[in-house]
Amino acid sequence: MTTLVLPSNREEGWRWSDLSQLPKLAQRQPTGVAPDDFQWIGTEREGPRLVFVDGQLDAARSQVGPLAIGPVDVTASDHPLGALAGRSGWKLKLGRDHAPHGLVQIVHVSTGAADHLAAEVELDVDAQASIVETYVGDGWANRLTGMRLFKGARLMLSRRLIGSSGFVSLTDRAEIGEGASLIVATLAAGGADTRLDGRCEIRGEGAYAEAAAALLARGRQRHDANLAIRHDVARGMSRQVWRSVADDLSACSVAARVEVARHAQKTDGEQSLKGLLLARSATINAKPELEIFADDVKCAHGATVGELDRHALFYLQSRGIDPEEARALLTRVFVADALDRIGEEAVRTAFYADVENWFGQSQAWVVPSEVEGRVR
Amino acid sequence: MLKIINLHASVDEKPILKGISLAIRPGEIHAIMGPNGSGKSTLSYVLAGRPGYEVTEGSMTLDGEDLLELEPHERSARGLFLGFQYPVEIPGVSNVQFLRTAVNAQRRARGEAELSAGEFLRVAREQAGALGFDMDMMKRGVNVGFSGGEKKRNEMVQMGIIDPRLAVLDETDSGLDIDALRVVGEGINRIMRKPDKAVLLITHYQRLLDLVRPDFVHVLAGGRIVRSGGADLALELEREGYGEMAA
Ligand SMILES: Nc1ncnc2c1ncn2[C@@H]1O[C@H](COP(=O)(O)OP(=O)(O)OP(=O)(O)O)[C@@H](O)[C@H]1O
Ligand SMILES: [Mg+2]
């Protein structure tokens, strides 16, 4: 790649972004050294497993199953990062009533440089799938994912971003048909910065779309999310549950939007954006937006930013629980609203374990005491 | 066991405790009575190490160890238990999870093996049962939606499970109905009346002291202990009120 054109903070959708490490990562050479442990989630029925190292399929360590590798039908030419992802990658296309055997697991390993990959999930009438994507490593993983759900199809997509450093940018484009259901749950609990972008269009009556995310940040980390769910037809339902946790000098920013077209009557849309500041020097930005053109809708949104309850912290400590563990316990409760949306217990358990790990690593960060923070 | 000498403490820069001295030996039960706002809860919080409660003068030691050097969870691991006047609600954390975390944290701190889920549940069931607290309550969020009396009873269940050596019980009797008061009084005797344990019982009423008979009664007024005596002092106060002492 020769020139990397990135959006500036002056653009509304990117005002809280920090893409400053991307040019550097884009010029690096990957080491290609993958870890031994791919963090597979143990399930009763082992499903397809894909390993991508720096955006390339590691065939020896993958069991492709019903998935395919090659050109995919998804574009995001209007999106500066999504457009970089290219038009080839993995594809899961399921016919009517089909479901893969077990959980689909995809591990993306980035080894110090930039890698780009696209993906496409297309579920025909009443097909269903559950996919877990795990991002590890320390490069820049840039992804574009297209999702098309036909009538009655169901997709649960769970993502965990647990790389040690670097950047993960995910751009999603989803279309949901009549009575179909899409749930995307995201956990950012590593050291990488993130940019999560999504646009989800409800195209069929009675469809359900949900985005649930727990974003944990510390040090100087940045998580930055921008999601829009659009209701184009009547009787759709959407839920957005965002839980941001920021410590030290980090920042979590969430711009979440619900759009209701004029004829999308009886839409039921809810957004809940909550932030938890573990330090006064951290920043949480929350911008819930509603754009409603229909008159008979039920839409609610709320955004709050707070700190851990001091009374609860003391109560826990008075019973012998050390301050770190007390903070971890209360923070775990805080993100539970988002993580509990994950259907499969094994997946949920693995994601909670990542949250515990995040706390286990917390001593690594020491904020200089002279730094005076701001709380926006 | 507990030795408090000339303790002064402030909350938000406001002096509340103004020179308290008190010695509690193993096997003893001390009651502290005194008018509203006299500093009883402040004393209990200072003992437990609540942030914002600043000791400005004096000392307090538990078995010779300076409490001021210890954080709240370390004091707990040394055997100190505070029964809160106003127990805190913690939505999303079940009682069972809370207590198992607490018990195991203390055991780790003392270099003892952690309890397995099964072992813990056995202890929890036994203690909850003894205090007429059903296990469904134990599975609910800590104190969430509990009535005032249920919260107090829950404090005693926690005390039973944690099995402390020194319990500071701040108005554990308030909000209890007549039967619950008896259950709680019996609980305190059963759990704490042992030769190597001690209790500091903060209360306004004789009813609890009828059940848990104190060896010493102290009157706290204006941040100082203005009078000390035996169990009879409580009876006298019940008859005559604090009168001059409260001034
Ligand atoms: N944060 C605070 N700032 C200023 N004053 C405080 C603060 N907290 C407590 N106080 C004051 O300290 C005094 C002692 O309060 P404390 O709660 O210890 O009384 P108490 O003896 O337990 O009373 P009660 O019998 O009503 O429980 C009261 O006058 C109270 O108003
Ligand atoms: Mg009080």
Residue pLDDT, tens place only, A211-239: 999 999 999 999 999 999 999 999 999 99
Q: How confident is the model at residue A374 (pLDDT cuts 50, 70, 90)?
A: very low
Residue pLDDT, tens place only, B174-230: 989 999 999 999 999 999 999 999 999 999 999 999 999 999 999 999 999 999 999
Residue pLDDT, tens place only, B78-113: 999 999 999 999 999 999 999 999 999 988 988 999
The distance in angstroms from the start CA to the end CA of chain B is: 31
- Is B84 touching A (CB cutoff 8 A)? yes
Has residue B114 been placed in a domain?
A: no
Do strands A114-123 and A140-149 pair parallel, antiparallel, or not at all (unpaired)? parallel
How far apart CA A299 and CA A239 sit, in angstroms, is 10
pLDDT value for B73: 96
Has residue B7 been placed in a domain?
A: yes
pLDDT value for B173: 93
Has residue B106 been placed in a domain?
A: no
pLDDT value for B247: 57
Chain A: which residues have CB within 8 Å of chain B? Answer: 309-312, 314-323, 325-326, 329-330, 333-334, 336
Task: Read off the pLDDT of each residue in A156-171 and give the average, rounded to a whole number.
Answer: 97
B residues 131-150 lying closer than 8 A (beta carbon) to A:
142
Do strands B2-11 and B14-24 pair parallel, antiparallel, or not at all (unpaired)? antiparallel
Please give the number of the atom of ligand 1 that sits closest to the Cα of B34.
21
Q: What is the mean pLDDT of chain B?
A: 93
Q: How confident is the model at residue A353 (pLDDT cuts 50, 70, 90)?
A: very high
Give me the residue from B76, B90, B92 closest to A320, CB to CB.
B76
Question: For chain A, what percent of residues have pLDDT higher than 90?
Answer: 88
Indicate whether A376 pLDDT > 70: no
Residue pLDDT, tens place only, A248-297: 999 999 999 999 999 999 999 999 999 999 999 999 999 999 999 999 99
User: Which whole-number Å values give the CA distances from B20 to B3, B33, B43, B176, in the listed order?
Assistant: 10, 14, 9, 29
Question: For chain A, what percent of residues have pLDDT higher than 70?
Answer: 95
B residues 96-135 lying closer than 8 A (beta carbon) to A:
98-99, 101-103, 105-106, 109
Token representation of residue B203 = 């209360």
Nearest to A278 by CA among A338, A343, A219, A231: A219
Indicate whether A317 pLDDT > 70: yes
Mapping DSSP onto H, E and C, the string for A163-174 reads: CCCCEEEEEEEE
Q: Residue B84 and residue A323: Cβ atoms within 8 Å?
A: no
Nearest to A79 by CA among A170, A213, A191: A170
Instruction: HSE, CB side, 13 Å, CA atoms: give it for residue B133.
Output: 32
pLDDT value for A297: 94
Question: Looking at chain A, which residue has its C-alpha nearest residue B48?
Answer: A318
pLDDT value for A361: 66
Task: Read off the pLDDT of each residue in B142-162 and give the average, rounded to a whole number.
Answer: 94
Domain count along chain B: 1
Residue boundaries of the structural domains of chain A:
39-307
List CB-based neighbours of ion ligand 2 within 5 Å.
Answer: B 40-41, 85
How far apart CA A272 and CA A240 sit, in angstroms, is 6
Q: Are A172 and A199 a contacting pair, CB within 8 Å?
A: yes
pLDDT value for A372: 33
Has residue B165 been placed in a domain?
A: yes
Q: Residue A318 and residue B92: Cβ atoms within 8 Å?
A: no
pLDDT value for A362: 52
- Whichever domain contains B196, its CATH number is 3.40.50.300
How far apart CA B164 and CA B199 sit, in angstroms, is 10
Residue pLDDT, tens place only, B123-148: 999 999 999 888 888 889 999 999 99
pLDDT value for A4: 87
Q: Are A283 and A375 a contacting pair, CB within 8 Å?
A: yes
Residue to mutate, B8, B10, B14, ligand 1, most ligand atoms under 8 Å from C-beta: B14
Has residue B27 been placed in a domain?
A: yes
pLDDT value for A369: 34
Has residue B28 been placed in a domain?
A: yes
Q: How confident is the model at residue A2 (pLDDT cuts 50, 70, 90)?
A: low
Please give the number of the atom of ligand 1 that sits closest to the Cα of B171.
27
Residue to mutate, B13, B17, B42, ligand 1, most ligand atoms under 8 Å from C-beta: B42
| B48: chain A residues, CB-CB within 8 Å | 318
Q: What separation in Å is there between the alpha carbon of B245 and the centre of ligand 2? A: 18
What is the extent of the structural domain holding B197? 2-89+142-246
Q: Which residues of A174-196 are buried (b: 16+ CB within 10 A; e: fewer)?
A: bbbbbbbbbbbbbbbbbbbbbbb
Has residue B32 been placed in a domain?
A: yes
* Nearest CA-CA distance, residue A310 and chain B, Å: 9
Indicate whether A119 pLDDT > 60: yes
pLDDT top residue among A26 and A37: A26
Give kind and range of the element (H or E) at residue B169. strand B166-170
Has residue B112 been placed in a domain?
A: no
pLDDT value for B136: 87
Question: Looking at chain A, which residue has its C-alpha nearest residue B93?
Answer: A333
Q: Are B109 and B77 a contacting pair, CB within 8 Å?
A: yes
